[in-house]
Amino acid sequence: MTPPLPANAPGGSGVRLTNLDANRLDWDDKLTIEFLNDRPRICAIEIVKADNLPTVFLAGDSTVTDQPREPGASWGQMLPAFFKPDVAVANYAASGQTLKSFITDLRLDKLLSQMKPGDWLFLQFGHNDEKSNWPQTYVEPFTTHKAYLRAMISEARLRGATPVLITPMERRGGIEGNTHGEFPASIMDTAREENVPVIDLWSMSKKLYAAMGDQVGEAFADPTHHRNYGAYELSKCIVQGIKDNRLRLADHIVDDFGRFDPAHPDPFASFRMPASAGRMGTGGGAAPKSPARRTGPDYQD
């Protein structure tokens, strides 16, 4: 819910949910925690309210959202593994979203209602915005696309937060080409014009996929979306982008991250992540999976 509106004010007080949101556990009124691994064990859990931690808000589509079931995964749900406990990550991305729908569905309103000075807004849209067969939400890359980006940038800055633009990662079919047309260039232009940090995930992903060679299929769940391995490697690209931009947020990255070169991804053979209980086709939603913190190629719990 968004904050209550004054009498007769336009707008709404709740996010317009879609069918894709219906069974997701992050839209109910409970806290769901999933413990993974071969023999998950825990002694105790302590939940303490912490109002002053800087928060990284994520806004985007299905390639960013917390995917609820195997085999899907996104860089957004992997990102917390690379931060120290002194920063929070709030993933507001949702499948099918565009810049326009993120505003009209009141998802941006809900996000902004939680934002405070010192926070961050990471924006990665494009996969759906570029669909001209979706006339309600299509944007032209160098006009309306930029206008909507500027609106979100302004709203974040108004609240004392730092916006960061991210170009959409390439699809599998674009390793040697470009399936996003002029949209990555539009985002880069907007970042320069508005003096906003930008992480060029589009270029980084192309290097990443090419370097994976015959193992690139292990990174994808379908031509657009990713499995755990691909999502984890893309998340490392985002973290490296934070460091390359010399953002203050880099102070919150785990000390043993080091440096990540997309041209030298971690080998798939050494990657392991226990599967979530919410496997594809079993019905219902599972808690968003996030890996235990590991930054080297030997990813074993």
Active-site residue set: 62, 218, 225
How many whole angstroms separate alpha carbon 234 and alpha carbon 55? Answer: 20
How many whole angstroms separate alpha carbon 165 and alpha carbon 155? Answer: 14
C-alpha distances out from residue 48 to 51, 214, 244, Å: 10, 46, 33
Phi, psi (deg, nearest 5) at residue 58: -110, 130
- How many of the other CB atoms lie within 10 Å of CB of 114? 13
Task: Return the CA Rg of the chain.
Answer: 19
How many residues does the structure list for the chain? 301
Q: Are 225 and 71 in contact (CB under 8 A)?
A: no
b (16+ CB within 10 A) / e for 53-81: ebbbbbbbbbbbbbbbbbbbbbbbbbbbb
